[in-house]
A and B are shown apart, each in its own frame.
Chain A
């Protein structure tokens, strides 16, 4: 599998506070990495480091074999701060995900629109294309933002707690969709929910100031303790893995 990017002993801090220290991570095509860790442990900071929005104070991030005219990232932030009364339609929001390809003076062709509409069908919200965002529920809006992240067909999809605002029905569909998308792209997903992580991802990164990469999707409490990665446990019905107690 070709390598997309690697982080080499990178440290990141806001002012003097070190949030991530000596972090190493490699991401390959078709990876599906679940990022877990306590609040304030640096999960979102890790994503920003991947995205290039934050520069490491030490170490480096290297991007590999990026093809010309390829979109590297699709990013769905944990919360998108927007004005719900803004006069913009669902289709326009989704098309905005193509701007980096189109350039600042970009215009859309009928091909672009077809691409966006096909994607909306796939996400199950084709009927909403002409609605303004103010007419949507929280879950529908989340799907619109997911579509915006996907429309450029990124090589790496980065999701920050995608299950925060979605309804139970879509949560199930979302993981089905991610599984399908994972055949076409690598995915990095932050989640609080260990049950979710262990049943859907391929590998796990525990982030708590340091990063411990765990090359499988089953993880035991001993391993988590060894990684110094206390996380919030949410018990689910038939979780296929050990439900873990709290440890210090």
Chain B
């Protein structure tokens, strides 16, 4: 086992994959805790899928697909609010429209791109072993900015998520902070696409906080626990996928769900024992 682990880590792409998994767990833990607490999961799903439109256009124009994805993700994160306010579309409908229109644009342009057609599956289902050192640097930068922001403004983030009307009366810049947090959400999504892909990404953001929420109701503890759970799921999934030669993205999600199921069972037993004692 140790021998096979040593073998495993002799490849640079494997080391990259592990570093990326750690960094993504940190970013997804912070952003995921926020979107689960504030019920922005559907919006996050919309942003994730809309980013595929950017990937398609970037391929067509021959530029970096991540840049295209980032542009689409950030624009759709900011755009949903504008769309629902100015054009009087209800917010969930606006998200639904962005969701599928983004996918449609992506497919359209990828098929228009002459010559080599990139492997769609990579973006849809992820492939963490293709993580480059550029990706790692981008993830590291995003993480540093986000960790600093969360450490510095933790109270403001908590209160604006809980009760924005009251937060305004406390002179918290609710609008600006909401935009910044949506920007973080969009960039975390884009940089996580390599790991689990567009279709599976939403579970990476939602399962760890939901698991943590079974044991603690404190927002800061949910963030820390989500990071740990996310990392455990990513590393466990990677090892299993390597040994069984199955796609890593799907395996990571299945490990995360397994952790959730075990946690739920533990919680259930814990409550039962407590009831019996009482």
Contact = CB atoms under 8 A, between A and B. Distances in A.
Interface of A: 51, 53, 73, 75, 77, 80-83, 86-89, 92-93, 96-97, 99-100, 102, 104-108, 132, 134, 148
Contacts of A92: 158
A84 to B, nearest CB: 11
Given A89-B217, A132-B217, A102 B155 contact: yes
B170 interface: yes
A232 B152 CA distance: 49
Nearest to A101: B170
A96 B161 CA distance: 12
Given A87-B222, A105-B156, A100 B217 contact: no
Consensus secondary structure, chain B interface: helix
B166 A106 contact: no
A73 B171 CA distance: 12
A88 B158 contact: yes
Contacts, number: 67
Given A92-B158, A105-B153, A83 B169 contact: no
A105 B152 contact: yes
B225 to A, nearest CB: 11
Nearest to A98: B170
Nearest to A92: B158
Interface string B162-191: 110111011111000000000000000000
Contacts of A83: 38-39, 162
A174 B152 CA distance: 37
Given A93-B162, A134-B217, 15 more contacts: A51-B169, A53-B169, A77-B165, A86-B161, A87-B37, A87-B222, A89-B218, A96-B167, A97-B170, A99-B172, A100-B171, A104-B156, A104-B171, A132-B217, A148-B166
B43 to A, nearest CB: 15
Contacts of A73: 169
A80 B169 CA distance: 13
Contact of B217 (A77, A87, A97): A87
Nearest to B169: A75
Nearest to B213: A87
A83 B161 CA distance: 10
Contacts of B167: 96, 99
B219 interface: yes
Contacts of B171: 99-100, 104
B37 A96 contact: no
B275 to A, nearest CB: 16
A99 B222 contact: no
A80 B199 CA distance: 36
